[in-house]
Amino acid sequence: GAHFKCLTRKPIPDPLTYPVNKDIYRTTVLLTTWERTMRGTIHSARLELVEGDITQQKDDAIVNAANTTLLGGGGVDGAIHRAGGPAILEECKKIGGCPTGEAVITSGGNLPAQWVIHTVGPVWRDGSKREDALLRNDYKNCLIQADLQQLESIAFPSISTGAYRFPIEKAAHIALSTIAGHLKGKTTVKTVYFVLFGAAALEAYQNSLQDLCGKDTEMKQV
Ligand code: APR
């Protein structure tokens, strides 16, 4: 069976007193390693929460919190198109759009990441419009795209928790439990990064991961 290790959390330095250099601040605050035998091969996957700007991630793919037109916007969407350059928008125009809950893939343009997986999160209304299921589908479909390309590393932002106003604690639990579920199955993904913008978002995901480690009998705190 699968067993998990949640390494203990190092204290998060206070950004006000921490050295200005953001890179030092972008340390791994929590690492969860999955090790399990799968038909005789050892498959281990890592989930890392980092604080920073997703456009700087050098992973195989970064995920964009897009809208259904795929024509860009603010937040993560704006940052990725700004840093990635016009090639990404050109590819998005050819794709022509993406329904909420689904994911499409383009090249990374000028980004350090090779691919951008664009997904469209649900706008939070009141919780009765299938928001949870659609957000779960976002994460699942991004990981399916990663497996289709046989990618080994992928970085997610906190989808829907900005302009789309999805409550972050709820979103964090949906995101982390969906990713954990996918990593228990057959996948080429070895490392999933969550790139959080700001200490509050980081804290919300940390608490959620800690909580998940506590509840999931296969995950043991080390
Ligand atoms: N790196 C990582 N995370 C970021 C970055 C960045 N450079 N910029 C913003 N974020 C964080 C926000 O702080 C928030 O926690 O990403 C999360 C998602 O926020 P949004 O980007 O607003 O995305 P979302 O809530 O899914 O709304 C999508 O906003 O930008 C438009 O075109 C987009 O219409 C779509 C909507």
Distance, in Å, from the CA atom of 27 to the CA atom of 159, rounded to the nearest integer, reads 21
55, 57, 76, 111: residue to mutate for ligand 1 pocket, most atoms within 8 A of CB: 76
pLDDT, tens digit (0-9, with 9 covering 90-100), for 25-84: 333 333 344 444 333 334 567 888 889 999 999 999 999 999 999 999 999 999 999 999
> CB of 202 closer than 6 A to ligand 1?
no
At residue 181, the pLDDT reads 87
Closest CA to 143 of 109, 172, 102: 102
158 falls in which pLDDT band (50, 70, 90)? very high
Q: Find the 164 Cα to ligand 1 centroid distance in Å.
A: 8
Cβ pair 177, 141 in contact under 8 A: no
63: closest CA among 141, 121, 142, 161? Answer: 142
Residue predicted with more confidence, 116 or 7: 116
- Atom number of ligand 1 nearest to Cα 72: 32
Q: Is 123 in the pocket of ligand 1 (CB under 6 A)?
A: no
C-alpha atoms less than 13 angstroms from C-alpha of 124 in its C-beta half-sphere:
12
Closest to 111 in 3D by CA, of 153, 78, 80: 80
**What is the residue whose two structure tokens read 């919190």?**
65
- The CA 122 to ligand 1 mean position distance, Å, reads 12
Per the listing, tokens 């700004």 go with 82
Structure tokens at 172: 């964090």
Q: Is the shortest distance between the CB of 172 and ligand 1 below 6 Å?
A: no
Angstrom distance (rounded) from CA 176 to CA 185: 15
Average pLDDT, the chain: 83
Q: How confident is the model at residue 180 (pLDDT cuts 50, 70, 90)?
A: confident
Give this prediction's pTM.
Answer: 0.86
Contacts of 182 (CB under 8 A, 6+ apart): 139, 140, 143, 189
Q: Which residues are catalytic?
A: 77
